[in-house]
Structure 1
Amino acid sequence: MSLRHALLGLLAVRPSTGYELAKEFEGDLGRHAWQAGHTSVYPELNRMAEDGLAEVTAEGARGAKTYTVTETGRTELHRWLMSPPGPTRARNEYVLRMFLISALPHDDALALLEQIAESTGDAAAELRAVREAHPDDGPLLGADGFGQLAAEYGLRQYEAVRDWARWAAERLRDEKPA
């Protein structure tokens, strides 16, 4: 995954200025999927234009440029979306904590599991509210449905982690401290 692909995807949904794109990363996209700031977005847009993946279609006040994805950009986005993710080095803080949880005393390990259950439950509730604000019979693709599939994916992930943490905490409660 790269910032380039995130920007291509956003531009495929709707033409945008660099400022508008950077604002997208300050919202749900940045909180749940990919973070990028103004200092990353603008140089990448310039490189994308140089590479023929995007083009400036309008210029506004104070030098604001509206970018649109080109056919070459759409082709690259399609290629990336349709190909399986490549091998990556996993960096998942929850999983690392679970590998290392045995280093904690029993009561602290239990507290950690309960904290994970609570925090992922809260995150699930936040995404559930996002999903409820958009009816199930509404569009899932295009500008009107942007982010709904991702919200449902995230909701189900958080619920799975919450349920797992509750299960693990229950098992740990049944275990006698060493």
Structure 2
Amino acid sequence: MTDFERVLVNSFNAYIEENGVRAISYRLKQHRFTSQFLDVLVDSLNPDLYLGIECKSISVDKGAKALYFTQHFTVDKKGIHQIERISDYLNRSGRRGFLAVELRLGAGHGREAYMVPWKELEKKYLTQNLKLTLQEIRSFPEIKRDGKDYMVNPREWDRKESREESS
């Protein structure tokens, strides 16, 4: 489990506890020869918190200008791209999906993280627009930091999604 995933799970569980919501966030153990559908899951009877989140982290300080679908995502032995596998899982499970992208800015500059609705990612993939630029990533809702933790707020992500769907 990466540090970003661990911190995100802990941040979700803190949000759940602070708001008295019946839910739990967790990371499934990854096994060497089996594919893992998503990095972070949130289970709740509240559909707004029934989530599946894939986490990606890119190093801006080392020159990354975008998140590339060919470089940062996998293709399985059957030739199925990770975005297709996750989209299928989200459709079957009924979970709302997101891509959490952490931008590592280098020593002394900290990190930023953004929540990209899975539907947006899937749309780009299906139209063969196979990357998310830093500018595009930063146009999505930021997951604000509080020290080393993140302050998750799924309601903020909903508002962004709703605005875009009504446009």
Q: TM-score, normalised by structure 1?
A: 0.28
Larger Rg: 1
The answer to which structure has the higher strand fraction is 2
